[in-house]
Structure 1
Amino acid sequence: MAKTRQPQKRVLESFTIKGPDGVIKPGDTVLMMAPDSSKKPYVARVEEIEATGPQASQVKFKSADTIEGKCYVHTFRDYTKLRSVSAEDFFCRFEYKSATGSFVPDRIAVFCKCEMPYNPDNLMIQCEDCSDWFHPSCVEITIKEAKKLEHFYCKSCIAENGKDLQKSNGATVQSEEKVQSKRRRR
């Protein structure tokens, strides 16, 4: 009985995909199509590029056809310092330490009554009394209304101190700084 011949695999230094940043190399991060087309793409790091024939290439165990494009994963600190953020920019709060099997940092601060961590892409407003931060939707106002606020007091501070939530047609420079996003989107 004759053995069927397995295609010989070669490790490639790079692979070209469609798009402006078309050259993918090991170590790059890419957006991969989710197996379920109803789900959003996910970020993956290219470990190795194998060629199994003259036309067939694979990124480790995924097909090169599932790569939507190259993306960039920044540390959280570097991401918050970007002047502008594109659709290809992502951030990661944690670094995985394989030697210990743990993530650094092992915990992060949460804000708002929804107890979510700070996301530099989402607007937050600060209570002038207790200094806590809130998402406009969590305090039942729109982003447009939040940007017009001259003063903001959370419900707890209003109940404790009897202060009114004041809305203004024209926000002061100080209040605009409190609600302004840290970066512009392209």
Structure 2
Amino acid sequence: MAKSKAARKVLDSYVIKGTHKVVKAGDCVLLRASDPGNPPYVARLEKIEVDGRNNVKVYVRWYYRPEESMGGRRQFHGAKELFLSDHYDIQSGDTIEGKCTVHTFKSYTKLESVSAEDYFCRFEYKASTGGFTPDRVAVYCKCEMPYNPDDLMVQCEACKDWFHPSCMNLSQEQVKKMDHYVCPDCDSSGQQEGDKRQGNGEGGSQLEDSKTWPTDSGSQDGEKKSRNSHRVFPRSEQKPEPKKRKR
């Protein structure tokens, strides 16, 4: 006689093995990597099930680190940056090591301190094609690079653009001591030119649309104005290697 398939039941929550931490659908979790030398995987729980033998399975949507994407890690990617992928999977509940928080890009830039369990996501990533959503970028400074929240930047009071100290031949110590900053272009050409660059004319539009990097989502909701120019976020010393997830 054929054995009947064990009935599955959807659980509202699950207690992480060996801890008292409770997770539920919608939470972000850390899952044990297949290689013990690698950092844990990060995923969002979609559903938790238990079968008749009390085996817990979790349905997850993976986050990718920049170095795991087709384009690899780029200069503007933060150390704690993740991409929400379209890669779904099923894992044993026993592989969950802990909980974490994946912030929006805007809320991450406002954190006073960043813990080991804090990450941020500003892009969705299509694993099969390497495509990003959104697919364009806002750029800053004369180097025209997207904003990396790990890097110190200073805002010009005239044109309102943001600049890396090194690009302006300044040290971070000099920038931190400044009460005001005016970039060389505005300092030489005056406020009128600064207002022209800040406004809605073609110059500003072309700057933000000139590259086809993934778009900085913060640029669409006033993040330029709200960013603290003297905030420096800690950068992780460990750079995880690309990994393969268990299927």
Task: Answer yes or no: same fold by TM over 0.5.
Answer: yes
Counterparts in 2 of 1:28 and 1:83: CA distance versus 1, 3 Å: same
Q: Alpha-carbon deviations, 1:57-116, whole Å to 9, x = none?
A: 1112111122121111111111112233222111111358xxxx972x332234575946
Amino acid at match of 2:22: V
Amino acid at match of 1:3: A
TM-score (ref. length: structure 1)? 0.58
- Alpha carbons 1:72, 1:90 under 8 Å: kept: yes
Indicate which of 76, 79, 87 corresponds to 2:108: 79
Amino acid at match of 1:88: E
- Alpha carbons 2:33, 2:41 under 8 Å: kept: yes
Bigger Rg, which one = 1
Query: Which segments of 5 or more consecutive residues in structure 1 lack a partner in the other structure?
Result: 150-156, 158-177
Kindly, what percent of the aligned residue pairs are identical?
Answer: 51
**Larger RCO (CA within 8 A; separation ≥ 6):** 2
Structure 1 Cα separation of the partners of residues 4 and 16 of structure 2: 29
Counterparts in 2 of 1:65 and 1:124: CA distance versus 1, 3 Å: farther
Amino acid at match of 1:49: I
Structure 2 Cα separation of the partners of residues 65 and 142 of structure 1: 48
TM-score (ref. length: structure 2)? 0.46
- Alpha carbons 1:30, 1:71 under 8 Å: kept: yes
- Alpha carbons 1:108, 1:117 under 8 Å: kept: no
**Which residue is 2:51 aligned to?**
52
Superposition CA RMSD, Å: 4.3
**Which residue is 2:87 aligned to?**
none
**Which residue is 2:148 aligned to?**
118
**Which residue is 1:106 aligned to?**
135
Q: Alpha-carbon deviations, 1:11-36, whole Å to 9, x = none?
A: 11100015777101011111122333
Structure 1 Cα separation of the partners of residues 232 and 30 of structure 2: 25
Amino acid at match of 1:58: K
Query: Which segments of 5 or more consecutive residues in structure 2 lack a partner in the other structure?
Result: 60-89, 126-130, 179-184, 186-227, 236-247
Length, aligned pairs only:
159
Structure 1 Cα separation of the partners of residues 38 and 14 of structure 2: 26
SS at 1:70 equivalent = strand
**What aligned pairs does 1:32-47 form with structure 2 within 5 A after superposition?**
32-47=31-46
SS at 2:46 equivalent = coil
Amino acid at match of 2:4: R
**Which residue is 1:181 aligned to?**
231
